[in-house]
Every structure is written in structure tokens, then in C-alpha cells.
Amino acid sequence: QVILWNQEILHQKLGLEFFGIINNIKKILGIVFIGLLLAGCTTVKPTGGLYKETTLESGKSKIIILRKGGSLISADIPTIGILGHGSYFLPSKSYIQADVDPGNYNINVYETAGLVWRFEPFDIDVTANKNETIYLELITWSVGLVSRAKLETVEKAYALDKLKMFERTLFSDSIQ
């Protein structure tokens, strides 16, 4: 009751118009802040086109890493390094494809200066078998202050279903 009474006195003394102006200023500042935040974000735009299933060259292997999107974390862009094969950026709703010789590969996920990636760097080892494609998915999630990321092997059918909507990120794609 005391709080409501104090609000009524403030409204009477300062007038309802003052509070309306303050609320409008807050809305405008919020819109300006979001606009500046979005305009200042750097990104990587995949240039490799939509996924097309290709035949493996005889005796070779392929590593495909995909990343879904859909949350605030989707704005984060890591660098994916495949030891002995190069590094790629992996924005949301994209994939990378590396044609490799059969063998063991270390895949690193880490932050690059100029891009946002709030997760700890990590790596996994994979074995690329002759005449085989390995499908991996970069999975990220965040609850409050706890954020996690991991690379996980996924089934071919699942990967192919997702890949048909994703753009390929090439080794030559750069930060914009």
C-alpha cells in the first residue's frame, strides 16, 4: 500500500508525461544498442554452396563437420583445425568437408581473434578409414554461465538430412 501511495504521489507531482518520455527513451536506447551490437559483429559467410553428395575418390577418405544453429550461441564462430590439412571457420548452419588420405587426424576447435567463441578450446582424434566418410557435428549449448561444446560422430542419414540445408565453408573463406 505504501509503495502504491508513493507512486501515486510521484505521478501527481511529476506528471504522467514524464514517465512516458522516460519509457520512450529507454526503448529508443535499447533499439540503438541492439543495432550497434549487430552492426559491429564480424562474421564468416560460407561461399562453397549447398551440399552435394560426391563420390569418394578410390582409396581416399572424407571428413565432414556440420553445425546447426538457432540460438544466441549460433553467433559464435570457431576455427576448426584438421592437423595436416588446414583450418576452417565454422559458422552456424554450415559445414566443412576435407578430402583426406586414410589415417589418424587430430581435430582442434578454438577461438580466432576477431570472432566470438566463448568456449574452451578442445580437440579430438578421429580415424579416417579407406573409402569412408566420417560425419561429425559440432554441438554447443549454454545454461546460465555454463557453456559447453563438443564434436560428436553422427549417423550418415542424420548428417545428410541436415547438410542439404547448409552452406559449405571453404578453406579460403575469410572474416568479414
Local structure of residue 125 (DSSP, 8 states): E
| pLDDT tens figures, 117-171 | 778 889 999 999 999 999 999 988 777 767 788 899 999 999 999 999 888 877 6
The residue that leads in pLDDT, 22 or 156, is 156
pLDDT in the model for residue 142: 74
pLDDT in the model for residue 133: 94
Please give the distance of CA 114 from its chain centroid, rounded to a whole number.
14
How far apart are alpha carbons 75 and 70 in whole angstroms? 9
pTM of the predicted model over 0.75 = no
Q: How confident is the model at residue 35 (pLDDT cuts 50, 70, 90)?
A: very low
The residue that leads in pLDDT, 28 or 166, is 166
Instruction: Give the CA angle between residues 23, 27, 30 to the nearest 5°.
Output: 135
Element (H, E) at 33: helix 16-39
pLDDT in the model for residue 172: 73
